[in-house]
Structure 1
Amino acid sequence: MSSMVKHLISASLLILPATAMAAAQQQPEIIWKPGTGTPTGTAAGTPAPAAGQPAPAIQYDPSEGKIPAALQRWKMLSASAGYSFNDYASFLMDYPDWPNAEDMRKNAEQAINPLSFSPSQVVAYFDRLPPLTNGGRAKFAMALDAGGDKTRAIAVAREAWRGGPLSDDDEARLFRIAGSSLTSADYDARVDRLLWSSATRAAERWVAYTSPQRRPSFVAAMAVRLKSPDADLKVGEAGSAANGEASLLAARADALRTGGNSFAARELLANRSRLTAPVPVLKDWYKLLLTHAQAAAKDGQSDVAYRIASRVDDAIAPGQNIADQDLTTRDNYTSLTWLAGTLAMNNLGRPRDAVAMFTSYANAAKSPQTRSKGFYWAGKAAAKAGDSALAQQHYASAGSYYENFYGQLALEALGRPMPSIPKVASLPPVSTETAPASYLAAKLAAKYGTWKDQSNFLRAISRNALTEQQFLSAVSLSKMINRPDLSVMAGRNARLNGHDGLISLGYPTVSVPADQSHNWTLIHAIARQESQFDKAAVSHAGARGLMQLMPGTARETSGKISMAYRPDALTVDTDYNIQLGSTYIQRMLNYYNGSYPLAVAAYNAGPGNVNKWLAANGDPRTGAISVIDWIEKIPLFETRNYVQRVLENAVVYDHLHPEKARIRSATPLSTYLGKSTPG
């Protein structure tokens, strides 16, 4: 046994002499006084925030029950990471689905003090709300061990051991709990994860206990990261395994790039072997590949870029599905497969490889927009490869997402009309006596807080809904409190959860001034994307109201139609906002000779940017570039996404309200796009 391990065991015995039961009994119970937002006591561990943090006392309506006081607690706990574990836990156990719950859970886990916690309280908490952080997982293991549940304690401790960086004290405690049960695979996983977390010195402590197969690569990776004089020697000693160990490949690629040799870094990643083990931090591996693949593509190294970007699946553990990973991981994966697909199709003359990449892109995604896009382009690539049957299959997959841009194009390519979108006959009433606490909080949030507070609750309600009844109830609430943006969110998330019969709920309508009725479809298509019909919405950039007008644009537009400029009315008077927004989009349509894609892009990014893109990429109106390619070449993701979302919205609103339709055509999206050939 090494001196380091002996040191850790000794330290852990000093830190945890027996159990923390006695200390836990000294913790005062947290009692919240409604109307003050201030706890009467704080648990041992983290002190409460300094004076001045609590909100001022508010007089509550007794008929509203405990929700107003809970709202004030929510605002306090959301605003600070300085409360005790008991403060956060007592709230989260009652309101686990409220906004900011994830941040509060992380703060709660950080606040647990192993020297003074109640094991039973901590175990009960984590049994209800599983750890989100590796530190929380470690505290869970300690609480299980202190409470006598040795079997579960060891299992959770091993998870935390594999999970990444820990404080020295927590590492020592975990080793005391599970050290005798740790295997070489556990040490491999820990060292690998530490290397990906840039905790190289911590990894050094345990590398001697890793498996003989992977140890040389780990040692080499540490030497490269630490810029050791013998780094090249250590890489050589790792042998052929060095070319398939992701942590070492990443260390070498980073060293080459920072040393001014990016081309060598790209070649290293393009010519690597199949990975010998799954990568513990997929998002970082994919980000590394994406950085080098994009740089290679920009420099005209299409084949190198393709070889880097296309080899993504060997990093995933057997049984794992990329679609189940976090958003950043999925985004990096889809960015890689999209790049590989476009290179194979457009630069390398390999459409069959493009089919595989676009299919992987689609299957990695959760959103209908991304899935339909991947399947549509897989169909295009299959058609280019001469496989019409496969093309039809992929178009059909894309067309199942018929409310989305590429799904609509796919249906047109198949010569099929958009399916009928059923309308929901009735909505269930929302009872204040039986509604979830989050519904009551959403109703009262604007009264005791702000419009933004209420918006946070609406997003949480939509995000947490799973069943058809829950989505219907959410839409009922949206009508009760006059927040149609909740209806949009609920309709979108209902689709994500497979409730296709509720799609129409995500397309609410508003009253349009009579003199703007000719733009009824565009007003709705833009408002749904811009604000989700939230009349009080204000963007980070300062765009305001239903149609998200920048103050400068609103002032200029009001002057052109001899209307008084009333900045406060932009977020209060929907007719005023619509009048200006409708006038501006019509002005852009006139400027671009009736081109909807260009006008919509200009509404979002300004005509100056659109004119630059026309000069750089060609004008789709003249046939210099296809309109689909022109949209995909828009360099701003926000605008590229915006054009697709607004035009797909226009098609759906025309479909749901044919009496008000802007365009009446068997191929409506192609007509909006100005395409002569459908699909």
Structure 2
Amino acid sequence: MRSARAGTLRSTALATSLALVVGLAAITAKAWAAEDAPAAKPAAQDTASKGAAPKTATTKSAAPKAAASKSTTAKPTSTKTDAAKTEAHKPTASKSSAAKPDAAKAAPAKTGAHKEAAPKATESKSTASKPATASKPAAPAATGSLPNKPAPVRAAAPTLVPATRQHAAPIARKPVLPAAVAATSSTSQSDKEALASVVELLRKRRPSDATEAEASISDPVARKLAEWLILRSEDNGASVERYRAFLDANPSWPSQTFLRRRIEASLWDDRRDDSAVWAWFQNESPVSAKGRLALAKVMLGRGDRGNAERLVREAWRNDGMSEDTETTALEMFGSFLTAADHRARMDTMLYGTDNEAAGIREAKRLGSGYLALAKARIAANRKGSNLRAQLEAVPSELSGDTGYLFAKIQLLRREEKFAEAARLMLSAPKDPARLYNVDEWWVERRLLARKMIDVEEFRTAYLIARDAALPARDIYKTEQEFTSGWIALRFLNDPSLAAQHFARIGVGSANPTALARAGYWQGRAAEAAGRGQEARAAYARAAEQSTSYYGQLARAKLGLPQIELNSAPRGRGADRLEIVRAVALLYEIDARELAIPIFGDMGDNGDPEALAGLGELTARHGDARGMLLMGKAALNRGLPFDHYAYPVNGIPSFRQVGPEVEQSVVYAIARQESAFNPAVVSPAQAYGLMQVTPDAGRYVCKRAGIGFDLNRMKTDPVYNAMLGAAELGGLLEDYRGSYILTFAAYNAGRGSVKKWIERYGDPRDPKVDAVDWVELIPFSETRNYVQRIMENLQVYRARFGGGTRLQIDADLRRGASVE
């Protein structure tokens, strides 16, 4: 994702058709944002505006001089990620999406194609170096095989122990319901025409007419699909009873939570009587602020004040609400709320920029001191130049407020006063009840811990990571344990301590990346401690995850020659299933974009038999985007959908106009950049399959001696792929064939890569551990990006080349033989 993990990207096609009506939900990878991401707007890495962290020693090598280009045209200064631009003015998002893989706050500037544009719900849930050898990780053993003895060690650091805490038990997945079987096996032409009419009427915002057209459909599957589309559309006027009838009859259909939220909104907005509300919640728990408030009203009427208060407080402290909903809630339940509840809401709403207006409203209710604090928090979110002045305006009695401490730590880190920031962080509360948003606190700890690595304060870096309150999201739990263990192993030279952290990664998870990361780093820790047999066993566990970066590294450690991919699962009579028939109908009426939420939801929650049928269907229709969305989500559940998660038909044939680039590299990039959506546009104005920016397009055309056509770059997938491949080829030429540097620059820009070479060494240097170099990349989105492209590359070689050998070890060291 040209940078990141990913603000909302919009497809031009969807924007003109469905985005206004059908409200496509975010589907695959969940947003990723991050203050440390090289993103276009709000949250670029802090070092972007102030330069690299102070070097602690002279580096041995400067950035290599780029090869002379064929043109004297200056290289484009803007990056797909805008990482080279100043980080000021980038407000960060606090909304906890589902997937932020490896990043945390703002949206990725280059791409987030995995996430589809969707109308925002009214009541949304808010969550709330190279430097000298001393700072370089301990020298590793040869990557290709296990050593006979452990690598040399540095002087022992002070003894450290992992923090003791109770980890949450693995979350039990909701049982997957079998997909419903269709009553008929075919649909008449007249029914298809009526279904197409329903779609067209919804696009014209005429849901009542669409309902009339639906009534003429006789085929049960086609009619059910029409009803699902109508219920997902905006302002459809559907009653609670209509929603409920659909959900009761179709528990295995997609969008269950989406439609439940619609029901809860209707119960509250339409002031439905207590009996209707009570009937709905007999077998359901609220999933939205309006649902909680509606049920609280009924509970109060039934004399259950305790549960009513609990529901109101839960909604007030945690949920986003419109100003009108807030006002009504205060009128009805204001006496339930204490000053502590109002402080909690203010604090929750001010982690990030999504709900700043709600935070300000709450601050005004609390008084002038809290209003000053809220303004300071907003200045911190937006990286305002007046943050110090805003903090100084906060009354002294609020200087111990956790939100104040959070903003002060951010300020000190951005001012590069890392020691002061670390002291304040280590003294900050760790009780989740006082932090309100443990994930945002973890992100800040991660940023600061990496700064402490840069200035060689390794023990402090470890303590900052280790002592974090347990994050809420699984991705951050994994990241917290990994960061702690990695620092312990590679900087404190304490493999025993590191192993304890690595052992907690991925517990109870089926996610291939988490499982492979856990096994690989447990192997590295055991290897460093001289426990070869234990290391091999750990690497073997990681190696089972052939599609994962760490699994591929583990296979290289074990000397395994190839990665193992699962063949496409076969659906046994899947065409008889309703949801498969429904998607087939969308293809037949040329409305495949409406299947996007189906693919994502089914990938996350669907019956494997139905998924196999959907996979076969997408393959028949050459729908690479649908294959990827469904296959990737299924693969993350541990299902054997490798074949569909890595489609080989997503890029049209094109002519290469620059230095030749391997086909698998182009596919690896496009899969990550656009998820094979040729119409996607990033907030940084990067376009199409390869997320090419206008500046980059002009530059590569000039370099190749061909004409540049901006409109074609935006609309023609063949031309877009040609330009993206040419840009990759130019980067590979300039970086002497280094994939690490090429991929990092494609995401974060040449300027960022130059700084990282100066700070952490050159990964082409045999003395530099390439795996550690990638882990040291300070932008979490770029770090993740390079790993994902590397793993994609290995899989695509296997898909295109049949028995192609695993080359990740050589790919990480590419360019090293050229001096």
TM-score range, shorter chain: 0.5 to 0.7
For residue 610 of structure 1, the aligned residue among 753, 769, 777 is: 753
Shift of 1:145: 6.4
Question: What corresponds to 1:507 in structure 2?
Answer: 646
The verdict on how the C-alpha distance between 1:475 and 1:563 changes in structure 2, with shifts beyond 3 A counting, is farther
Q: Is the 8 A contact 1:135 1:160 kept in 2?
A: no
Question: What corresponds to 1:592 in structure 2?
Answer: 735
Shift of 1:619: 1.4
Alignment of 1:447-462 (within 5 A): 447=591, 455-462=596-603
Q: Secondary structure at the match of 2:578?
A: coil
Query: Structure 2 CA distance, aligned partners of 1:141 and 1:453?
Result: 36
Q: Is the 8 A contact 1:141 1:174 kept in 2?
A: no
Q: Secondary structure at the match of 2:503?
A: helix
Question: What corresponds to 1:19 in structure 2?
Answer: none
Moved more, 554-563 or 582-591: 554-563
Q: Secondary structure at the match of 1:360?
A: coil
Query: Structure 2 CA distance, aligned partners of 1:413 and 1:433?
Result: 44
For residue 685 of structure 2, the aligned residue among 542, 547, 550 is: 542
Shift of 1:580: 3.2
Query: Structure 2 CA distance, aligned partners of 1:407 and 1:489?
Result: 22
For residue 578 of structure 2, the aligned residue among 430, 434, 448 is: 434
Shift of 1:72: 5.4
Q: Is the 8 A contact 1:601 1:610 kept in 2?
A: yes
Question: What corresponds to 2:23 in structure 1?
Answer: none
Tell me if 1:136 matches 2:291.
yes
Question: Matched residues, percent identical?
Answer: 23
Q: Is the 8 A contact 2:668 2:793 kept in 1?
A: yes
Alignment of 1:331-480 (within 5 A): 331-363=475-507, 367-418=511-562, 420-424=564-568, 426-427=570-571, 434-435=578-579, 439=583, 443=587, 447=591, 455-465=596-606, 467-479=607-619
Question: What corresponds to 2:625 in structure 1?
Answer: 485
The verdict on how the C-alpha distance between 1:292 and 1:558 changes in structure 2, with shifts beyond 3 A counting, is closer
| Partner AA of 1:535 in structure 2 | P
Query: Structure 2 CA distance, aligned partners of 1:97 and 1:554?
Result: 45
Alignment of 1:193-272 (within 5 A): 197=348, 250=402, 253=405, 266-267=422-423, 270=426
The verdict on how the C-alpha distance between 1:54 and 1:155 changes in structure 2, with shifts beyond 3 A counting, is same
Question: What corresponds to 1:629 in structure 2?
Answer: 772
Moved more, 271-280 or 425-434: 271-280
Moved more, 603-612 or 451-460: 451-460
Higher relative contact order (CA 8 A, sep 6+): 2
The verdict on how the C-alpha distance between 1:350 and 1:531 changes in structure 2, with shifts beyond 3 A counting, is same
The verdict on how the C-alpha distance between 1:253 and 1:263 changes in structure 2, with shifts beyond 3 A counting, is farther
The verdict on how the C-alpha distance between 1:116 and 1:341 changes in structure 2, with shifts beyond 3 A counting, is same
Q: Is the 8 A contact 2:486 2:498 kept in 1?
A: yes
Query: Structure 2 CA distance, aligned partners of 1:518 and 1:195?
Result: 52
Query: Structure 2 CA distance, aligned partners of 1:645 and 1:567?
Result: 29
Shift of 1:462: 2.8
Shift of 1:413: 1.0
Tell me if 1:75 matches 2:245.
no
Query: Structure 2 CA distance, aligned partners of 1:606 and 1:396?
Result: 36
Question: What corresponds to 1:237 in structure 2?
Answer: none
Question: What corresponds to 2:276 in structure 1?
Answer: 121
Q: CA RMSD in A?
A: 5.2
Q: Secondary structure at the match of 1:657?
A: helix
Larger radius of gyration, structure 1 or 2? 1
Alignment of 1:514-663 (within 5 A): 519-561=662-704, 564-570=707-713, 573-658=716-801
1:174-221 residue CA offsets vs partner (Å, 9 max, x unmatched): 899xx9xxxxxxx9x989977975889999xxxxxxxxxxxxxxxxxx
Query: Structure 2 CA distance, aligned partners of 1:309 and 1:652?
Result: 33
- TM-score (normalizing by structure 1): 0.66
Shift of 1:624: 4.9
Query: Structure 1 CA distance, aligned partners of 2:685 and 2:761?
Result: 31
Consecutive unaligned residues in structure 1, runs of 5 or more = 1-33, 40-51, 180-186, 204-225, 233-247, 317-321
Q: Could you say which structure has the higher helix fraction?
A: 1
1:278-314 residue CA offsets vs partner (Å, 9 max, x unmatched): 98754355457557656655665433342332134xx
Q: Secondary structure at the match of 1:401?
A: coil
Shift of 1:403: 0.8
Alignment of 1:50-61 (within 5 A): none
Consecutive unaligned residues in structure 2, runs of 5 or more = 1-196, 320-325, 350-361, 367-392
Q: Secondary structure at the match of 2:689?
A: coil
Q: Secondary structure at the match of 1:621?
A: coil
- TM-score (normalizing by structure 2): 0.56
Moved more, 478-487 or 277-286: 277-286
| Partner AA of 2:619 in structure 1 | K
Q: Secondary structure at the match of 1:540?
A: coil
Q: Give the length in aligned residue pairs.
A: 563
Shift of 1:446: 6.7
For residue 467 of structure 2, the aligned residue among 305, 308, 311 is: 311
The verdict on how the C-alpha distance between 1:492 and 1:562 changes in structure 2, with shifts beyond 3 A counting, is same
Moved more, 358-367 or 586-595: 358-367
Q: Secondary structure at the match of 1:379?
A: helix
The verdict on how the C-alpha distance between 1:97 and 1:294 changes in structure 2, with shifts beyond 3 A counting, is farther
Query: Structure 1 CA distance, aligned partners of 2:668 and 2:502?
Result: 28
| Partner AA of 1:509 in structure 2 | V
Q: Is the 8 A contact 1:194 1:200 kept in 2?
A: no
Query: Structure 2 CA distance, aligned partners of 1:292 and 1:648?
Result: 28
The verdict on how the C-alpha distance between 1:262 and 1:558 changes in structure 2, with shifts beyond 3 A counting, is closer
